[in-house]
Amino acid sequence: MQIGPAHRALAEKYLHKDTFKEIIVLDSLLNVLAYTFTEEEAEIINQLGMKMQSPKSIAKKVNRPVDEVQPILQSLAERVLIIGFTVKGVSLYGLMPLYPMVYDAQMLMSDKKMREGDSGEFYKEFTRLFKEFWEEFNQWLCSQEVAKRYQIFGVPYGRIISVERAIEASPGLGVIAFPTDIYSEMVERSKKSLCLINVCACRQGMVLLGKGCGRLENTCSTMGLPAEGAIKAGMGRRVSKEEFLEAKMRATESGLVHMTENTRDPILVCSCCSCCCAIMRTLKQFNSPNILTQSHFEAVIDPEKCKGFKICLDFCPMGAITMKDKEAVIDYKRCSG
């Protein structure tokens, strides 16, 4: 692997260093990028943004002929390292965030390719390098003051949601469930394609490292345009609303946590375990994990049902429950919902 100026510039782009001046570009990230992209590819990706662009526009920025740039863009899109689609016969390309999108896409591609007979060696090494970066980066990130800077206008960028069968009204207070919190309403309102992903990207990553946990695979999901992309690429399957919701219920019953973007109409709903999920493992390192990911609901202990068996201590993914005088107690600073 040879690290060039374009790799360093790409690292700064992925980390939004223009906004977060204090951020550190780690050698471990440069190793990931040099392994994944050639210097030529990195130079072209540096011209991409969230706004989709034509090959002609991108070629002009790098001062190269379109017929040289177009095949590189198409190769990157086919490897799911950038966003690429066609509208009315015109190819358009855009930047894909490094995490979770580039990482998750490579994990899903690894499952697909290995089922087709690929050895998976590229993906195993990619996973190893990325995990090295992620662990090192989080040692720096796990300062609460730094973490707060990564909120969007003070709002956590992730949200924990519940499958509503698990929600009961609080005695005397009731519970106000916003449409953004009721899972079935969220799905119904989307009016979009529904897709169950073949494997959980995080659990697949641990499988590639020989550390798989064996939890449910086919429960992470997406809606809308990403769903169509995953179905077309053979990384997921189209499902009905009923099957979509049933999969999430199975995930809930097995102890997985539903995490999504903190928006009214999210397009991704992951079903996470704290042993494999990179974000949940990061959250556990914080004294106050709800700085980054929150829920509009709280867990409660029912004193009439609690028998002191300590089952909930192992079930809680954030380690927010302890025993005091033989009764379970929740630390709400650590509770994610």
pLDDT at 152: 42
Q: Tokens 């690290």 map to which residue?
A: 3
Same domain as 230, residue 268: yes
Q: How far is CA 22 from CA 18, 25, 31, in A?
A: 10, 10, 21
Does residue 272 belong to any structural domain of this protein?
yes
Same domain as 151, residue 126: yes
Same domain as 160, residue 231: yes
Q: How confident is the model at residue 65 (pLDDT cuts 50, 70, 90)?
A: very high
Does residue 275 belong to any structural domain of this protein?
yes
Same domain as 263, residue 328: no
Q: How confident is the model at residue 178 (pLDDT cuts 50, 70, 90)?
A: very low
Task: Please count the structural domains in the chain.
Answer: 2
Q: Write out pLDDT tens, residues 18-39.
A: 887 888 899 999 999 999 999 9
Same domain as 228, residue 133: yes
Q: Write out pLDDT tens, residues 108-162.
A: 999 999 999 999 999 999 999 999 998 888 777 766 455 555 554 344 556 676 6
Q: What does pLDDT average to over the chain?
A: 82
286-302: average pLDDT: 68
Please say if the pLDDT value at position 167 is more than 80: no
Same domain as 278, residue 151: yes
pLDDT at 268: 79
Residue range of the domain that includes 273:
103-283
Whole-number percent of the chain with pLDDT over 70: 80
Same domain as 186, residue 162: yes
Spatial distance between the Cα atoms of 275 and 83, rounded to a whole number of angstroms: 29
Spatial distance between the Cα atoms of 81 and 276, rounded to a whole number of angstroms: 22
> Could you tell me the two tokens for 195?
């897709």
Please say if the pLDDT value at position 16 is more than 60: yes
Same domain as 134, residue 209: yes
Indicate the pTM of the whole model: 0.81
Whether 292 and 158 have beta carbons less than 8 Å apart is answered as: yes
pLDDT at 130: 96
Whether 207 and 276 have beta carbons less than 8 Å apart is answered as: no
Does residue 217 belong to any structural domain of this protein?
yes
pLDDT at 206: 93
| Non-local CB neighbours of 99 within 8 Å, separated by 6+ positions | 134, 278
Please say if the pLDDT value at position 47 is more than 70: yes
pLDDT at 163: 60
Q: Look at 183 and 69; give whichever has higher pLDDT.
A: 69
